[in-house]
Structure 1
């Protein structure tokens, strides 16, 4: 499409000039292949001055002959959003066009719409060449590139990606934050917000400059966002929307932690303090279950009566990357708690109704959010705390019960592969991680029963 050509839409007819406008193929039966209008002049300069009214008239005739998805007037209104949506519609049509004739027809329509967007020239340069309004010309060029698939907005496929991801709401929110950060960076860095513009070099720049966009976020959190972009790009690569995943291997450097800076299990003394302190009954029950099965907080709080089976097994909902519900034997010391909390309830009733979860349906917080806050306040009230300068989080939290269980199971001589199955970790190695079907339930039961609470004396 030569938008600056002096002979655009013009042809000689004898000694004079006339306007010629191509008719979309779908209207050939109604209007023929071309519409023409004589300008009554042999001067090219005069023809260029007169042609635009004639072009508008002929294109108006074409517009009246059809009921387009987006009218010519809508394009002339200057609405970039409407133009972009129409361009993306054409891009999808081009992907589905497998024969040259269909592709040619679509491209003719793209040219026609782009020429309409460019509008009339507003002046002529020193050589007599037509000059177009730069904003309209830029819109026409963007439209043409989008419609032909030469430019693809960063988030064009993002909603579809999210719909197909089957991840938790919080992870989906991370995906959206990551995309917003990338678009914000593109705007500040002067990078066009298109998939084709994000090269490996630009991905490195983004990672280098990301901490400046989000001053209060740690490298761990920022790497989470980079990771979500990598997942999106892998999805795009598999669908042939990008050539490769430019985020593969990209990570911000995280400060190296010494042993005394890492989050840790509770000590036996801390477990005693927690289990003998003035906690509410539901908190006492919750802590004992956590200590004697190693489950995550949200999995325990979400237990229903039906999940505490009569054959002595918990059925925990999937957590993290677990592919499905996980079975875990109920420790003998927990039987009384479980039976008491099941008594008189229906299968769908909650084991811990004291923490019903967040009321707002749009909230991304887990059901256990309030439980976690209450435990933290209680833990601190009994003096179980371990904070280090420069670290946002303390070294002990509810997850320390899980670490304590794993530690005690290991100290009791239980196989690492069995412990991994009991707590829902991925088993390591080819033998256990790929070929083994997992330990029998009785092996898991022996692992659970190998862990005992410390002797509790007030």
Structure 2
């Protein structure tokens, strides 16, 4: 029977603690003087098997009762066996094993092991662009961890996560950081899914970074910094001033298809087809499932499209930097877009600091909306997910007349003429 007086006395300094380098919360239980001598330790630590403070607090009362019962049994054994006060080595080791809390299983789990398991089990289920987004965060984490000599997942806590963000995402927006932390949370959680840990980690969650704030700078992105579409005057300036001509072709092709900058840079020649109603471009977008789509091209630009089809012989509709080798198409598109934007800025357009190659996509959407094309149809054309219950869940747009919609895309006649003669010039940059 446990002595109530002993319980009151023994629990005066009992508390919940989280020791440095430990992933889980623990019960700290100071021992009476006689047990300190016998066990050669001033206190017992018992794990609550969770890194979440609220969950640990919920488990704490029951955990304390278990520790009190354990200490009572140890005290009883000490009273019955006086020689335990001066134990031999074997007896001391046996007793120590019984009172030492089991170490968290996370101690044996390396960061690389968890990442490889995630890559094998979950990565293939994600879209290509999401995979690349997560891999960038993982590579940043591995580089940072190596510099800090961190090898195991239990070595990470919320403080370490904040340090990782401040050192590797300085100047990046809070939105970018949230995407990265979301990916890393998924990687960490997979260790729970496969049974390596007893609880899901919460260290990557709820850091409350402001979407618009740039990390470490205190600068907040305001509405007047958001990207703008190109005006017709902007497009005229681009089609006149950009060099080489292949850059002009990419801008024109993006304008008449509404494709993303990466999609248009990697548009393939064999994905252009002539149907009964005109030319269509099959866009193998990777950003989302909705990004993979076929888009009709307005008939007004048939001469331009036919020239692209007939005057190029390589894989791409617009051949660029053919002498370079690329590890993947994303790198190729990123390089091309960077070069176009660099030369675009030299033209000093009125809103150049708020525009990019992606602005052609905004112009495309603005023009279709101006012609009162239904929102659901615009989403089909630009590869956006249709989330409405009716237009999205029930209707997949099977009978939407996309050709009729794109023929509403009208630009000034003289601008159409400029686009339709672009391929009369050299298409490969020197």
Q: Give the TM-score normalised by the residue count of structure 1.
A: 0.57
Cα offset, 1:366, TM superposition: 2.3
Structure 2 vs 1, CA of residues 408 and 402 (structure 1 numbering), >3 Å: closer, same or farther?
same
Q: How does 1:218-237 map to 2 (within 5 A)?
A: 218-220=172-174, 221-237=176-192
Counterparts of 2:228 and 2:268, CA distance in 1: 29
Aligned: 1:426 with 2:385: yes
Q: What root-mean-square deviation, in Å, do the aligned CA atoms of Structure 1 and Structure 2 show?
A: 3.5
Counterparts of 1:176 and 1:149, CA distance in 2: 19
Q: How does 1:150-161 map to 2 (within 5 A)?
A: 151-161=108-118
Counterparts of 1:306 and 1:357, CA distance in 2: 21
Cα offset, 1:359, TM superposition: 0.8
Q: How does 1:270-419 map to 2 (within 5 A)?
A: 270-277=234-241, 279-311=243-275, 312-322=279-289, 325-343=292-310, 349-356=315-322, 358-361=324-327, 365-384=330-349, 386=351, 394-419=353-378
- Indicate the SS of the match to 1:434: coil
Contact 2:261/2:333 (8 A) holds in 1: yes
* Larger RCO: 1 or 2 (CA < 8 Å, sep 6+): 2
- Indicate the SS of the match to 2:392: helix
* Structure 1 residues without counterparts, runs of 5 or longer: 1-125, 131-140, 388-393
Contact 1:153/1:193 (8 A) holds in 2: yes
* Structure 2 residues without counterparts, runs of 5 or longer: 1-85, 91-99, 214-219, 419-430
Aligned: 1:268 with 2:226: no
Structure 2 vs 1, CA of residues 172 and 259 (structure 1 numbering), >3 Å: closer, same or farther?
closer
Structure 2 vs 1, CA of residues 455 and 354 (structure 1 numbering), >3 Å: closer, same or farther?
same
Q: Give the TM-score normalised by the residue count of structure 2.
A: 0.60
Which of 1 and 2 has greater Rg? Answer: 1
| Number of positions where the alignment pairs a residue of Structure 1 with one of Structure 2 | 303
Deviations 1:247-285 (A, max 9, x none): 344442232533211122122321222123354332222
- 1:183 is aligned to 145
Counterparts of 1:245 and 1:149, CA distance in 2: 10
Contact 1:262/1:395 (8 A) holds in 2: yes
Structure 2 vs 1, CA of residues 414 and 381 (structure 1 numbering), >3 Å: closer, same or farther?
same
Counterparts of 1:358 and 1:226, CA distance in 2: 34
